[in-house]
Amino acid sequence: MTDAAAPAARDDSDGPEDPYLWLEDVTGEAALQWVRERNDEALPVLTGGDRFDRLRGEIREVLDSDERIPYVRRRGDYLYNFWQDAEHPRGLWRRTTLESYRAAEPEWDVLIDVDALAKSDDENWVWQGAQVLRPGFRRALVSLSRGGADASVLREFDLAERTFVDDGFTLPEAKSRVGWITEDRVYVGTDFGPGSLTSSGYPRIVKEWTRGTPLSEAVTVFEGKPEDVSVSASHDPTEGFERDFVHRAIDFYNFEKYLRVGSDLVRIDVPNDADAGAHREWLLIRTRTPWTVGTTEYPAGALLVAGLDDFLAGNRDLTVLFEPDEHTSLSGIAWTRNHLVINSLADVKSRLEVLTPPGSAGGEWTRGPLAGVPEFGNSDIVGTDPDVSDEIFLNSSGFTEPSTLRYGQVGAEMEPIKHAPAFFDVDGLSVRQLFATSDDGTQVAYFVVGPVQDADGSDRNAAAGPTLLTGYGGFEIPLVPAYSAVNGRGWLARGGTLVVANIRGGGEYGPSWHRAALRENRLRAYEDFAAVARDLVRRGITTPGQLGIQGGSNGGLLMGVMLTRYPELFGAIVSQVPLLDMKRYHRMLAGASWMAEYGDPDDEDDWAFIKEYSPYQNVQPDRPYPPVLFVTSTRDDRVHPGHARKMVARMREQGHDVSSYENIEGGHGAAADNEQLAFKQALVYEFLWERLAPAENSA
């Protein structure tokens, strides 16, 4: 299997020529013709049977169900929601009142019908969100992308008139950073022309733009360096605490934050790798590495608080609001008008507390549990109203428990107001948290969802069966228990076992868990995942031939490394929107922004450890590999589709069992609407079932 019609290779300038460099030409005719040929090879095989049609239909039913919870975000007097279904595949931006939202069938006021807008504009618009002006909530800055890319077009919308504003704030397609100051002024970072973007493709310059003036006359507020990730500015309109901030992202984990006072910038003097944010009179600081202040050392992963004005004046009297240990980490925070809600993870299980600042007369912060939170499953704060009230929207779910949305005020019991339906039968299923031992002795947690098991996690009373293992292991992002009707219908309801691995590199155990697999320690994440795979076989839950793995983005890189370093452990692999060519990742689209995570391939010392795992450089013609499916999107302007394309081409050349599907639309999610998403998911499940249980589950 070769691609004989390929154009001549270009010099990679890093060593030997890459014969498939031409596939990095995202929309080049030769590259797209190659993509169409690969799709034409894979789709008839994967979509030709009745099972695929049933999978797609069942998944589409879930995605379009009117019984789904319409999650909302408060903006003033209204709760806003973006909704997609069969009749509105591109979606509706709509709003309602709290009173109406409590009803079984709320009355929705539709503001923008994206399908109708796409038709009238003759564009394949995909909704990318809206920023509503505070206070007043009369205007919005709406972002729309072509086909789901990160780059978007910006248009101003009048919420009272329900129409786009003639001669309002507009920007052409770019990876812009825009935010309201007042109704007539905005901060804008965008593609102003040559030299205005960083090497990662994000704004390097942020300006203040006044209504009625051309963008060329916007006043520069701050300029970053070309090698930075991005810069931006924001305005806090909280009454009595109106402030402006400038943000410089030096890399993915190091920032500078300034208070803008007139034409001056005052540095908020916290460590570059710490997160800092202000709410009213308070400054919150979240550490990523240990920070010594005077004679006190604060650990990585701590949450600290100080009075903002006092801190800027040089006072370093810090109060510890959260301190991690080896089992706990800070998952998230949310302010209400008078309280701070902290969500932490204890062995990847959520725990919520309410903290109350001292009053004007002084005193200490007080704390207590958030009332009404379910004991089991995972809970997240999905909405608060920090300007006005202490209301909270809390979402809870588990692997086998559909989502419940609760509403209430701090200090009162949370009231369930919305329930998601059960989309698959959970009878006979259990959820277990188990631990595998990695190569260096580290205990790695993972969840198993499948047939009822023995107390030690083994399944001695049933034959080992098809198992799908997934993971991520990067960017301090945790994988927590959550209900997935798509996984339920596509995998669990058909007799499969689902496994979620909490490997190093993620955020399940805080910054130290992430740093343990950073840069030169990257192999730790891959050793962890392999350890989980072996543990599943050791416990009798599955066999190598019945064990499939799936991951996307950084998780797609994880799949590529499993393919090339541990192929004997797996029966099938799905790698979605992946990084794979780690020699050139920093030169493609947003890749340069991730060098703090992976390293710089142009640095010889960094390349020495990157080349040990880079899948594109390590795939070999004489090594047997399990069948693999790569899924990507032409419109993914975050992770370049060239990664998947080139890997497929190289594996075809070497004679391996490799399939690929590239959706033209979809951005980094590889799907622009529910129809495309159902098709993509059904494709993945069909591939896995066919490879892991070819004689079973044809229904």
CB 94 within 8 A of CB 108: yes
The H-or-E segment that residue 309 falls in is helix 308-312
Helix axes 29-47, 642-653, angle to 10 degrees: 70
Distance CA(646)–CA(296), nearest Å, equals 51
Active-site annotation holds for 484: no
Choose, from 152, 397, 553, 614, the residue flagged as catalytic.
553
Give the DSSP per-residue string, 404-436: EEEEEETTS--EEEEE----S--TTEEEEEEEE
Distance CA(216)–CA(651), nearest Å, equals 49
CB 646 within 8 A of CB 611: no
Choose, from 235, 514, 643, 668, the residue flagged as catalytic.
668
How many Cβ atoms from other residues are within 10 Å of residue 375's Cβ?
Answer: 5
Place of tokens 């990257």: 522
Two tokens at 142?
């709406």
Distance CA(137)–CA(77), nearest Å, equals 9
Q: What 3 state SS string does 471-528 have?
A: CCCCCCCCCCCCCCHHHHHHCHHHCCEEEEECCCCCCCCCHHHHHCCCHHHCHHHHHH
Secondary structure class of 130 (helix, strand, coil)? strand
The H-or-E segment that residue 292 falls in is strand 291-293
Q: What is the largest CA-CA distance in the chain?
A: 79
How many residues can be counted in the chain?
699
Place of tokens 């030709």: 48
Distance CA(646)–CA(635), nearest Å, equals 17
Helices (H), 74-190: 98-101, 114-121
Distance CA(201)–CA(581), nearest Å, equals 19
Distance CA(184)–CA(1), nearest Å, equals 60
* Among the listed residues 444, 581, 592, 426, the one whose alpha carbon sits nearest the alpha carbon of residue 506: 444
What is the sign, positive or negative, of the torsion defined by CA atoms of 39, 42, 46, 49?
A: positive
Secondary structure class of 398 (helix, strand, coil)? coil
Active-site annotation holds for 586: no
| Catalytic residue annotation | 553, 668
